[in-house]
Amino acid sequence: MRKITSFVALALTTSCLLTGCSMGKTSENTTASIKGSLVSTSAAELLKTAYNTTRNSNYNSNSYSSDYSTLNGAQAADGTMNRYTPRSSVSSATQAKLDALETDYNKVKWGIVASPTGYENIVVSIAPYCQNGTLYTVIAITNLYDYDVEIDTTGTVKGLNGEDVGDFVIYEPCLGSGDTILYQTYCDDNTICETYWERFDVAPTSYSQAANWESDWSVGQDEYGYYEFYYYLYSNQNMCPGAVTALALDSEGYIRGYAQSYNSTEGTSCYDELSFYTKEFDEPVTDFAMFANPEVEN
């Protein structure tokens, strides 16, 4: 279970230090990391069957993914970027699982929340942000199954007039139950970006295992005044943290900064720091959200 404690909201200044912690699954045998109604572990076989059926039926067209049309055209940015109206198309059952997540997922004011058709326990969340005058789109993928899954997707980001302004490839061999992975893409000078998915494959993980984990973090500034995010990850298993992401948030949950790095350290405790590469955020920042998805290393 990835549990995030609640934090006191503070206006972040040059003299402010924010700290926090998150908790992972505490037992290797713990499989349900989301409160509420969950699909059973046996559903992994159903997912595998659905995946193989879709793959076989579309073999001639070289399309191996589920119906991802529900994700296409998801508007990720508009206007001045300061405000947007969230839109969600997930089922009430899926929304209940999202609401019950014990991670930092619900700290963020996502602009779009949707699921690929046939995989309502996989949620794609999209939100824009602007840092130092540059526009970006953040894409998050959350696993609401009670077992680990493999994610393999490709897509493009289109601008105001339908032109391609970027593309993305998101591959995660082992997305842990209840975990979220994030990807950032550049939006050029467009004030509107939409995501179009060319492929979205989901399958049970075949050779990896998500690690139990918990973490502590703090935020400060280096000697040059740049904001940095310091974190420790702990586990009762030998792990490799992989990609760790931190989001800077304002008082309403809008993203004001994005920091990510890949940590290849192996062990039961790992430390690293992320840089936001800015001395000042465009809007006042009052909190941070951290996302991790470490794997077990044998």
Task: Tell me what pLDDT residue 74 has.
Answer: 53
Residues 193, 245, single domain; the answer is no
Task: Tell me what pLDDT residue 18 has.
Answer: 54
Residues 180, 239, single domain; the answer is no
Residues 159, 232, single domain; the answer is no
The reply to whether 215 falls in a domain is yes
Where the chain has pLDDT below 50, the residues are 1-17, 24-68, 77-82
Instruction: Express each pLDDT in 148-177 by its tens digit.
Output: 999 999 988 887 777 888 888 999 999 999
Task: Tell me what pLDDT residue 62 has.
Answer: 25
* DSSP string of the chain, one letter each residue: --EE---------TT--EEEEEE--S-TT----SSS----TTHHHHHHHHHHHHHHHTGGGT--S-B-TTTTTEE---TTSS----EE-S-HHHHHHHHT--SSGGGS--SEEE--BT-TTEEEEEEEEEETTEEEEEEEEEE-SSS-EEEEEEEEEE-TTS-EEEEEEEEEEEE-TT-EEEEEEE-TT-S--EEEEEEEEEEE-SS--BPP-EEEEEEEE-TTS-EEEEEEEEEEEEEE-EEEEEEEE-TT--EEEEEEEEE---EEEEEEEEE---SS-SS---EEEEE---EE--
Residues 76, 51, single domain; the answer is yes
From residue 34, alpha-carbon distances to 86, 92, 114, 119, 148 in Å are 23, 15, 18, 16, 13
Residues 223, 197, single domain; the answer is no
Starting at the earlier edge strand, list the strands of the sheet with 255-263.
255-263, 242-249, 287-291
Residues 200, 212, single domain; the answer is no
Given 144, 173, 204, the domain boundary residue is 204
Residues 92, 225, single domain; the answer is no
Residues 199, 216, single domain; the answer is no
Q: How many domains does the chain fold into?
A: 2
Task: Tell me what pLDDT residue 143 has.
Answer: 96
Task: Tell me what pLDDT residue 193 has.
Answer: 72
Residues 108, 233, single domain; the answer is no
Supply the CATH number for residue 242's domain. Answer: 2.60.40
The reply to whether 104 falls in a domain is yes
The reply to whether 36 falls in a domain is no
Task: Tell me what pLDDT residue 85 has.
Answer: 66
Task: Tell me what pLDDT residue 47 has.
Answer: 37
Residues 68, 185, single domain; the answer is yes
